[in-house]
Structures are given as C-alpha cells and as structure tokens.
Structure 1
Amino acid sequence: MHTSYTCTHTMKKHHTAVIDVGRHFSNQSSYKKHLCNCTGPYQCDQCGKSFAHSYIYKRHLRVHTGEKPYQCEHCKRAFSCLNNYKRHLRVHTGEKPFQCDQCEESFTWLSTYKDHQRVHTGEKPYQCDQCGNSFTRLSSYKDHQRVHTGEKPYQCDQCEKAFSRLSHYKRHQLNHTGVKPHGCEKCEKSFFSLRDYKRHQRVHTGEKPYQCEQCGNSFSLLSSYKDHQRVHTGEKPYCCEQCGKSFRFLSDYKKHLRVHTGEKPYRCEQCGNSFSCPSHYKRHLRIHTGEKPYHCEQCGKSFRFVNVYKKHLRVHTGEKPYSCEECGKSFSCPNYYKTHLRIHTGEKPYPCEQCGKSFRVLSECKKHLRVHTGEKPYWCSRCKRLFAWPSSLKLHRCVDVDESSD
C-alpha cells in the first residue's frame, strides 16, 4: 500500500481564478524534492518564488532582468533558457525527433506530437462551456473562445484589419509583402503557410493518411475526411436561417445563401455575365475559350459540358434510362421524358400571351407566336419567298421541283 504525500504550497492557475490545489506524490523522496522547490533556500526578491537549486534560481532571475544569453547563429534570435535554445535549433536543422507509431508522421516539438496523437485516439479534452464544441489542442480551444467573446487581438498595422488567431494574422501579413516562403520543388508552386505547403505535397506523393473506418475511403486532407464522416452520420450542421434548409458541407451552405441574397460574385470579364457558383462560372468560360474537355472515344466528337457528353454517350450505348410508367416508352434524355409525360397528364405549361392558346412544348409555342408577329424566318434560296414554318418551306420546294420537271 502506497502512502500519498500532498504539498500545500503549490498554486495552480485555472481560467481566471487562482486556487490552492494539493499536488500528490507516490513516494517520500519525490515529495521532499518538490518541497525544497517550494520552500528552498534561494528566494526571488521580486516575486517571492523559492528554489532548491542555485542554477534554477539564476535561470528564473532572467525573467525579471530580460537577459537572454543563448543566441541563435542562424537567425540571431535569443533565449533565456538553454533548453528553449536547443529546441529552437530544430527549426534550422529540420530535426523531428518525435515520430507517430500509427502514421509515421514526425514532429519537431513534443507538444505537437502529443496533439497529433489525439487525431488517432479521437480524444478532445478541451470543451467549450458555451456551445459544447470540443478540441484536441488547448490553442484551438483558446482561439475558439474568441468566437464567443468577439476578441481580435491581432491587428494589422498596414490596413488595420484585425484577427482572432495569430496564424491568420501572420498569413495576412504575407498579402502585403507578397512573399510565399514555402516553394514546391516539384511544380514550382509557392505557399504562404507551411501547413498549406505540406498539404500540397500529398498531391505529388498521393499520400492519403486519413482513412474512413466504415467504408475504407481515404483522404489527403483532414477537413475532407471530417466532411466525409457526415455521409455516414447524416449530420447536416449548416442550417439556413431564412428557409430552414440544412447542408452537410459548408461550401454548399455558402452557395445556397446566394439564392436568398442574389449575390453573384463570379463575373465574366469578356461578356459581363455573373454567376453565384464558381463551377458555373468556369463552365461558362468555355464558351469564350472554345474548350471542349469531354471527348467521345467512339466517334471523336467533343463536348463543352459533362452532362451533354453523358447524354451523347447514350447514342452509342443505346441506353434509355428514363422509362414512362404509363406506356412503357423509354428515353435517353430527361428533357424528352418530361415532355412526353405531358401527353399523359395533359399539362400545357406554355401559354400564348396574345390568344391564350397553350402548348405542351416550348418550341411549339414559339412557332405559334409567328401567327401573331408575322415573322417568317425560312426563305427559299431560288425565289426568295419567305415562310413561317420549315414544313411550309419543304412543301414549297417539292411543288417547285414538280413544276420545273413539267
């Protein structure tokens, strides 16, 4: 049976309050050694702290004097503590002594290594009292607290923009300098942050360290892995306040908000058309560039849009996936299928504004309008006579041929 020894001198900080806590020791020698640190012979005149050893006491004095005797030869940064100096040298040497047994990723700092372990264990020891969100790292927890307090302690001197996170502030500073210090040796792409650079490396290595236990899919990004988990859990954490619709992914949620705001941030410089979605904008650009990236291997025809390309493939395969339940007729194109259904439902959604007559198909409505407008877009190349409908032009040509033969 072990005897517990408790120190009554130790103080521990917890949030904003300082409380007395008893520190426990499993044996008497550890307890006595610790007690010397609390009541040791070397006492600081400025803050009252006591130390058992003179070298620890002298090191502590540098907190008050500001002395930093250990200077880095590479970057001239100085340190008050030898251990901190040695740890700093790893930045220049690239040494990463802490390796993860599960994914073999290596780390420069012990604290970062311990944080990383929680990726595998799923442990999130830091929980927010206000919203219940949990975090693997203390720094992430502290950053999150500013979401509730609104605090933005990091302010840019050049544009006065403020940030809640130091990493965001530092990344923003590079926007002013234009410096991208992390360059990829394989594709010459450069990055503002080391994290983005490391993530980019997986494009070349093909590494996908985050694997889903339920379906086996692997992901190169932790964020993509977390997004994927919602496919299995059914979680849709992004809810629209205006219509109540929920979304699994933040990108889909932001895209949806533009339905309500009418925002179209992606503008074509060539024709002025604007788009709410980047994918629609990129698709539109092909109209100007003439790019047709979808190529049919059977007939060599190319297509600008993937949906048109897929529709075309059915010409070769004969596939008709849209089947009418009423009469059994099948269609290769959803538009043809929907138009066909109107035969059974009797729906005629295209009314003529001038006479009220309705039509099942939009093209029929447009043709009918020529009765009112007098438009005759079809003309005979021989006699220059005009016609409102292609059928009338064909009939005219047949009559013309018959008369010529007579």
Structure 2
Amino acid sequence: MSDKMFLSDNETVVDAVSSAEVKQFRCLECDKTFPLKKSLNKHAVVHSGVKNFECDECGNRFVRKGGLTQHLLIHSGVKKFKCDECGKLFARKKILTQHLLIHSGVKNFKCDECGKRFADKSSLTQHLLIHSGVKKFKCDECGNQFARKSGLTQHLLIHSGVKNFKCDECGKLFVHKSSLTQHLLFHSGVKNFKCDECGKRFADKSSLTQHLLIHSGVKKFTCDECGKLFAHKCSLTQHLLIHSGVKNFKCDECGKRFTLKKNLTKHLLIHSGVKNFKCDECGKLFARKFELTRHILIHSGVNFKCDECGKLFADKSSLTKHLLIHSGVKNFKCDECGKLFSQKANLTCHILIHSRVKNFQV
C-alpha cells in the first residue's frame, strides 16, 4: 500500500479544490473520492490486505467489522430484499442491486479471454478464475477441484442426494435449478445449437460442446474391465453398468430386461409397430434408426466375411453373432425339451414349434 494513502492534517490532496465540491479526498490506489478525510482513511484499510474479522460459520475473513456484519446476514437465513422483477430474495441490499443488473440486460464487463460479457465487475472477476487454471477448492468426497468456492458448494449438493427441483413435464428431479432450466429446453423442442460436423442439433450449448468431443477423436476415459475408451465420463459410467450385470428395466411386453432405461425405451418401439425410419434404396421401414443404419450397409456393398465358412455379412455385429455357431458354445436352452442353441434368436424361433404343437393338440 502506498505511503501516501493516509493524509496528514496539513496535506493538500489537490492543488485547488472548489468549495462547492463535495468529494475532495481521493484514494491514490483506486481514485475513489470521499467527502471526509476520515472516510478516506477508513477506506484505505481495504487496500492493506489485512483481514482481522473472521466468520465463525464459514471461515471467510473481512477487512472491516461492517463487512463481517453484513456477511452474517447470509447465514441468518433472513432475506428481506426482494426483486420486483422475478421475486428472488436477498439477504443484503447490495446483492439485490447487483442482481437487478441482470434484468437490465446491460453487460458492460467483457472477458478478454473468451468474449463472454457480464452485468457486473465481480461476476467477471469470478469468471476469470476459470481461465487462470487455478483450482484450489477440492471436494473431499470425489476429489473434483474447482476454481471458485461457489462451484464447490454447488457440486457438494450432488453428493447430498437432495433433489429439490422437479420437472412438471416428466417428473424428473434435479439437484440444481440451473440443471432443471437446461432440461426444460428439451421439452420445448427448440434446438438452436447445431454441430457443423454432422448437422445434429441440441437444445443447449453445453450439450453441443460435449457432443463435439466425439468428433475430436479424443477418448480419455477407459473402462478397466474391457479397455473400451469413451469421450465422455458419463458414457463410461453408463457403460460400467453393463459389466455389473444389473438389469433393472424390464419390458412388460416380452420380459426382456435392460441395463439402461434408454435402451428399454428404444426397445419398446419394436412392440409399438411404429416404423418411422425408411430406406431410400428399397423402401423398407424400421422402428429404430440404428436398424436402418445397419440395413443400409447391405446396399453399400460393404462385406464382412467369416473365415470359417466364407459367408458374407453386411455388418460386423451379424458376423460376430454368426461366429458363435462355429465356436460350439450354446448358452441358450429350451425349457421344454432341453435343446441348446448358440443364438437367442434361434431359441426364440424353436420355442414357436412347441407352441404350435400345443395348439394342434388342443
């Protein structure tokens, strides 16, 4: 701090000060002016960096007692300052004043790193911590690190298991309100964010950003069970359920069970009878997009050959299933007669024989 910060009784701050001027004492550190010398001297403590007042609740420290007193209102739970625009409540008038800038739409503070704009300087300052690369706030539960304490605080809600924000459309619960807000975009049907690589569209920018990792070719998440690589951590997490053997999602139509709910949802399309995916080559219809994609390989001329018998297949998955025949492994057993099959599809066809016999006997 500058030695010129504090003024002596006979020191002149400016060469000539009009008697009509109200603010005449200027801080040499930040140029802020004050009507009284004692006000300037009190303000100068801010630049000293000394924080002698500590909050017993969270450990935050403050330069002045007044700052601590104002901060304690947050822990009191009392929020008497209300925003007339959105109804949000605040513990301090200062925070309400800052919040009102959001509704004004004015964002005068720009980040030189990424161009993002902010309504107030403090938000920009907090944002800049992201670009600094410094992450000093660590989660004791999972080890994740954050640039801002607020980020850690929000993250800890995930471990609490508390989900207070519910979607009125589908009933899904969320830990954070921001997550619910993003989720609601899916129900709106609006997808303003387009991938330049494949044309796929997304409801929010974060989903597009995650999707772009697929095209980057970078897969830094490895499955310890089978070595498969994934671009996203969430994809690896879902994949690990396959190795767990747990299949909690059952089809009421045929009894088939699935590890993931989304796989059950896709499967149900088969029973619905709806076939929205059409082959432009031959006109054949399919219930699921991946079935159409696999079918198109037939027209493309791409062949996968069995080294055992020379039979050709349009896609690799069909070849893989076929190879079970040559392996001699038969894991699918008929409960009626005990006959074994290498593929479940063959067992399914076989079971029809028993059903026909029973119908004939009746």
Normalising by the residue count of structure 2, what TM-score does the alignment of the two structures yield?
0.54
Offset at residue 192 of structure 1 (A):
7.7
Q: Which has the higher contact order (CA 8 A, sep 6+)?
A: 2
State the alpha-carbon separation in 2 of the partners of residues 65 and 348 from structure 1. 73
Offset at residue 38 of structure 1 (A):
1.8
State the alpha-carbon separation in 2 of the partners of residues 80 and 378 from structure 1. 75
Aligned position for 1:107: 90
Match of 2:192 among 213, 234, 243: 234
Offset at residue 296 of structure 1 (A):
1.8
Is 1:290 matched with 2:249?
no
State the alpha-carbon separation in 2 of the partners of residues 226 and 361 from structure 1. 36
Alignment of 1:209-358 (within 5 A): 220-221=177-178, 225=182, 228=185, 232=190, 234-235=192-193, 249-250=205-206, 252-254=208-210, 256-257=212-213, 260-268=216-224, 270-306=225-261, 308-310=263-265, 312-314=267-269, 316-323=271-278, 329-332=284-287, 337=292, 345=299, 347=301, 349-351=303-305
State the alpha-carbon separation in 2 of the partners of residues 66 and 346 from structure 1. 70
Offset at residue 134 of structure 1 (A):
1.6
Aligned position for 1:206: 165
Instruction: Point out the more displaced range, 328-337 or 273-282.
Output: 328-337
Offset at residue 221 of structure 1 (A):
0.1
Match of 1:124 among 100, 104, 107: 107
Unaligned runs of 5+ in 2: 1-13, 144-149, 168-175, 331-345, 351-362
Normalising by the residue count of structure 1, what TM-score does the alignment of the two structures yield?
0.50
Offset at residue 100 of structure 1 (A):
1.6
State the alpha-carbon separation in 2 of the partners of residues 313 and 107 from structure 1. 48
Decide whether aligned partners of structure 1 residues 246 and 60 sit closer, same or farther in structure 2, where only a CA change above 3 A counts.
Answer: same
Decide whether aligned partners of structure 1 residues 102 and 196 sit closer, same or farther in structure 2, where only a CA change above 3 A counts.
Answer: farther
Contact 2:213 2:231 in 1 (8 A): no
State the alpha-carbon separation in 2 of the partners of residues 276 and 130 from structure 1. 26
Aligned position for 2:354: none
Unaligned runs of 5+ in 1: 1-19, 21-30, 153-161, 179-190, 209-218, 380-389, 395-406
Identity %: 27
Contact 2:193 2:208 in 1 (8 A): no
Alignment of 1:16-35 (within 5 A): 35=21
Instruction: Point out the more displaced range, 53-62 or 121-130.
Output: 53-62
Bigger radius of gyration, 1 or 2? 1
RMSD, aligned CA:
6.0
Aligned residue-pair number = 301
